[in-house]
Structure 1
Amino acid sequence: MKNKILILVGILALYSCQDKKESKNIVKTIVQDTLSKTIGGTADLSDAPPRDDNAVELIRKQLNVLLKKDLRALTKGDRYFYYEEFDLNNDKKNEYFVGFSNSYFCGSGGCSGYILNNDGSVINKFTVTDFPILVTTSSTEKFYDLIFESGGKFHLLKMKGGKYPSNPSVQEVVKGNVPKESTKVLDIQGKKMEKNSF
């Protein structure tokens, strides 16, 4: 939202500095178009600054610890991750979904990844999943329930004892359609997500 406001302020400042009538009309049209797209949620913010560098650095440090034994086997091309923030327990602090999409972390059953707390500590490591992960509107132990796709089926994961199950493929299969109000996270194939090295 801050990015949208900054874009609008910049455009309005440009509009107010114009002297010529023709320029005013062009800038006015741009301002009106951008304003309507921003309000409608269709503004293209692809040039917006990258996400929180502190989060990337926190995840990077944690992965270097968690994958310490794997580092020698990883090629430079294997050493990248994707992440997305989501407040899973409504404590006003985002947790981090961390995923990979290369042959070291992915196999025929899917890929592995992590869910990290806001401080970088591990909530979960997960395996054999396909992205995206879905966050539902139902919750267990104050954390939203998750739906992971594994083996072509959707599986429901509920928090139990402070952890989600690590292997989605052995969890309850979702019967019927996936709830439409679920939020996609780590939509690595569907979104243009930024690669981050570690």
Structure 2
Amino acid sequence: MKKKIVILIGILVLSSCQNKDNSKNIVKTVVQDTLSKTLGGTADLSDVSEKENKAVEVIRKQLQVLLKKDLPVMTPEQRFFYYEAFDLNNDKKDEYFVGFSNSYFCGSGGCSGYILNNDGSVINYFSVTDFPIYVTTSSTGKFYDLLMKSGGLVHFIKMKNGKYPSNPTIEEKWKGEIPKDTTPVLDIQGKKLEKYSF
């Protein structure tokens, strides 16, 4: 959204420099109208997919339930999340990796987060994890195995009894480099993921 506003302002500046006659400058009028609607919240945001909107609402509602006891003590700045969708079990429905990156959810060992089913139900809570999480090409129990970093070490995480272990530090240490065929998810710093409030 911020990028769109910057682009629109850039177009407005360029168009006003090229044509001094404001009454004949259609581009300027369109840009001004779009900019005012964007800032006023009435712009058409049809490029934001319905699927993404649905995912954000599912996650937001689930966090309200999961963190009900925490909400009263959290500051507004701490009430945001990042998410990324990935089909972990090849059922044609995305699961949601949900992560946090603030002092309420993060400590010296890493941050906490969740893996949610497509309907919002919890597959996993995880703690002391550094992002991103890596999805491997191997699987256990129909779910892809994961590589999670914590405290500078990488751990190999396998599904056990329908859940991934919540504390990666007690799992098997990964030897060697992270394979190139893994898929990073929740790369909060590298991908500049959208931040959502809850």
Question: Which range, TM-score by smaller chain?
Answer: 0.7 to 0.9
Cα separation, 2, equivalents of 1:127 and 1:185: 16
Bigger CA drift: 70-79 or 51-60? Answer: 51-60
Q: Following superposition of structure 1 onto structure 2, how do residues 108-147 of structure 1 map, counting pairs within 5 Å?
A: 108-147=108-147
Q: Which residue of structure 2 aligns with residue 175 of structure 1?
A: 175
Partner of 1:83: 83
Specify the alignment match of 1:52 in structure 2: 52
Supply the distance in 2 between the matched residues of 1:60 and 1:49 (Cα, whole angstroms).
17
**Matches of 2:178 and 2:184, distance apart in 1:** 11
Cα distance in 2 between the residues matched to 1:197 and 1:181? 32
Structure 1: 5+ residue runs without aligned partners? Answer: 1-47
Aligned pair count reads: 152
- 1:35-93 CA-to-partner distances (Å, cap 9, x unmatched) read xxxxxxxxxxxxx5366101000000000000000001110000000000000000000
Q: TM-score, normalised by structure 2?
A: 0.75
Please state how far the C-alpha of 1:151 moved relative to its aligned partner.
0.9
Query: Unpaired runs of 5+ in structure 2?
Result: 1-46
Structure 1 vs Structure 2 CA RMSD: 1.3
Cα drift, residue 153 of structure 1: 0.5
Instruction: Report which stretch shifted further, 93-102 or 169-178.
Output: 169-178
Q: Which residue of 1 aligns with 2:98?
A: 98
Q: CA deviation at 1:177?
A: 1.4
Using the alignment, how far apart are the partners of 2:68 and 2:185 within structure 1?
26
State the distance in 1 between where 2:97 and 2:74 align: 21
Output aligned runs, 1:17-32, within 5 Å: none
Report the TM-score, using the length of structure 1 for normalisation: 0.75
Q: Compute the displacement of 1:156 (Å).
A: 0.5
Mapped to 2, the partners of 1:94 and 1:124 lie a distance apart of 15
SS of equivalent to 1:112:
strand
**Residue 178 (structure 1) shift:** 1.2
Partner of 1:150: 150
Q: Which residue of 2 aligns with 1:187?
A: 187
Cα distance, 1:179 vs structure 2: 1.2
